[in-house]
Amino acid sequence: MYPAGTVPRDFLHHYARQFQTIELNSTFYGIPTASVVDGWRRKVPDTFVFCPKVFRDASHDDSPVVALKAMRAFAEVISRLGPRLGGCFLQLPPELGPLQRVRLVDLLDVWPTELPIAVEFRHPDWFSGGQLIDSAVATLQAAGAGVVITDVAGRRDVCHSTLTTELVMIRCVGNNLHPTDRLRATWWAQ
């Protein structure tokens, strides 16, 4: 994929000449500095967009003070992407179900409305009959948040067909070369 001899600092430059977007999983593990975000923006063409995963302290920390502070700090830094921000996504922990919906409401309440965000639900109780349950839909619509539809082997519930806004993110997750990985990716591409 990269020209021979490409050094790591030039990977994004070359990647962005082949693809139009990238999921930033690294942002889940730490909030990038302003200079790092500015560097990302400079290395890509005007048509390229980033889809960063929200920092895990916002989504996975049990302390509301820590979570809300992390959500605000992440939004502030990632907003530097400007028009290169395709949409952020908040991946909820697998143990966070509808009974803890207030945590999601609080996070979305502090998220700047001008920044696009989608939510990835993982607890099985958020789903019923191939759709998100009504309380999830209402929560996202009230916040202007989109959805993440996840296609992963072994979890057909998370490959739901619910839309809440014009923003929808489709994540095709490989599973150690599961026999269905290539088939599912081909289906989405078509």
Model pLDDT for residues 94-143, shown as the tens digit of each residue: 999 999 999 999 999 999 999 999 999 999 999 999 899 999 999 999 99
Does pLDDT of 175 surpass 80?
no
Residues 170, 188 contacting (CB under 8 angstroms): yes
Question: Model confidence over 10-25: pLDDT tens digits?
Answer: 899 999 999 999 999 9
Half-sphere exposure of 47 (CA within 13 A, CB side): 5
String of DSSP letters for 144-180: T-EEEEEEETTB-TTS----SSS-EEEEEE--SS-TT
pTM of the predicted structure, to 2 decimals: 0.91
In angstroms, how far is the first alpha carbon of the chain from the final one? Answer: 22
Instruction: Tell me what pLDDT residue 172 has.
Output: 83
Quick one: which H or E segment has residue 61? none
The model's pLDDT over 36-85, given as tens digits with 9 standing for 90+, comes to: 999 999 999 999 999 999 999 999 999 999 999 999 999 999 999 999 99
DSSP 17: T
pLDDT band, residue 1 (cuts 50/70/90) = low
For 64, left (φ over 0), alpha (ψ -120 to 50), or beta?
A: alpha
CA-closest candidate to residue 159, choices 180, 177, 139, 142: 180
What confidence score (pLDDT) does residue 177 get? 79
Q: How would you classify the pairing of strands 127-128 and 131-132?
A: antiparallel
Mention every residue, 6+ apart, whose C-beta is less than 8 A from residue 128.
Answer: none
- In three-state secondary structure terms, 90 is strand
User: Helix axis angle, 64-78 relative to 34-43, nearest 10°?
Assistant: 40
